[in-house]
Chain A
Amino acid sequence: MALAIRAAYPEDRELILPLLTKLNPDVAWGPLFSRYWNVAEDWIGYVAEADGRAVGFLGVIFSRRVIDGKELKFCNTTSWIVDEEFRMCSLALLGAVMRLRDYQIINLSASEAVCQIVSKLGFKKLDSALCICPAVPSAKGFIRGMSIKIIQEAGNVRGHLNQDDRRKCDDHISTSCQHILLMDGTCYCYLVGSRIIKFGMPFFRIHYISNVDILARTIGWIRLRLCFMAGAIALVFDERFLKEYKIQLSLRHELPWQRLYKGDAISPDELDNLYSEYTVLRI
């Protein structure tokens, strides 16, 4: 039996979809087979193929991001799955990613087993907890929050953004993300998020917070407004986005997986969840 590892392209969708459906039948995997953000890389992952059947897949989402004024190449890895009888090709799939040179590599949903494997390859932990902020008012930031002006829709939001945020906005217009701007006088906090369904309930998952100071200082009221606007019962975002802030009446949820990164040019506080499976898939 011939086993081949090669780059996967959008045209391989029908070959790979059955494997991904096995990984999680509830996810609409289709968007993973599109190219995003006009990057030079035209492949969407690596596939292990045996007798015309996909037996392993490791998805990648490439992007270019400006960090500290410097444009960096990012590779977000996602959906690493290998059929039990072809476990031996998992290393070859990972090797294909590890051979990419000059990329910052991110994995936002690494299982315990994946963590054990990639930590030996120099990946570092980002975080593994979510902050769940239910749609109830809280005292801290309630009054100040009422003075915040909220702007919705990417087209309206875009004109208020600085160059870096405008690029993020433009890059995510083609996704199903929602774009929200909190205006605090002349300062703003730009949010990118998605309405997701978990445990049969709607949540508003925030992938990016441009200015956590504004959000934290006004959260007492804003949490209600955002949940109402999104039709969600709670806001959800990664704990690391909060920096040193604590949110009243919020819950901490430890995830069963880790967020990891490998790259010398980035630090955890510079990493949000844009340009990842979170903004491409509704998960």
Chain B
Amino acid sequence: MTEQMVIEKVSEVFEIPIGDIFIDSTPQTLKNWDSLRHMKLMIVLEMEIGKEIPAEQIIEMLSVRKIIEVVTALSA
């Protein structure tokens, strides 16, 4: 899964235009990034990569950069 694909999923789940999402975006800088949407994003990403994201990583994926890192590692 590419960086661009992850950003597209973030945009889709958080209902935010792609142009407003940056690699360093966090829950504090992106409106709509709350716990429920975060879990929804995790499910969407899991479906994309066909693997489960471990719980301990889910709670650490609090930036777009970190999400990309984890998803890239899991889908490698």
- What residues of chain A have their CB less than 8 Å away from a CB belonging to chain B? 3, 87-92, 94-95, 98-99, 113, 116-117, 120-122
Instruction: Out of A99, A117, A122, name the residue touching B35 (CB < 8 Å).
Output: A117
Q: Give the complex CA separation of A121 and B55 in angstroms.
A: 5
Q: Give the complex CA separation of A113 and B27 in angstroms.
A: 18
Do the beta carbons of B39 and A120 come within 8 Å of each other?
yes
Do the beta carbons of B28 and A3 come within 8 Å of each other?
yes
Q: A116-B39, A120-B42 are in contact. Are A92 and B34 (CB under 8 A)?
A: no
Do the beta carbons of A122 and B55 come within 8 Å of each other?
yes
CB distance from A143 to the nearest CB of B (A): 52
Do the beta carbons of B28 and A120 come within 8 Å of each other?
no
Closest 6 CB pairs of A and B: A88-B27, A87-B34, A95-B59, A90-B35, A121-B55, A120-B39
Contact with A along B47-73 (1 / 0, CB 8 A): 000000001101110100000000000
Do the beta carbons of A117 and B59 come within 8 Å of each other?
no
- What residues of chain B have their CB less than 8 Å away from a CB belonging to chain A? 26-28, 30-31, 33-36, 38-39, 42-43, 55-56, 58-60, 62
Instruction: Out of A113, A121, A122, name the residue touching B36 (CB < 8 Å).
Output: A113
Do the beta carbons of B59 and A99 come within 8 Å of each other?
yes
Which residue of B has the minimal Cβ distance to A99?
A: B59
Q: Give the complex CA separation of A90 and B34 in angstroms.
A: 7
- Which A residues lie within 8 Å of B34 (CB)? 87-88, 90-91
Q: A117-B35, A122-B55 are in contact. Are A91 and B62 (CB under 8 A)?
A: yes
Q: A117-B35, A120-B42, A120-B43 are in contact. Are A91 and B28 (CB under 8 A)?
A: no
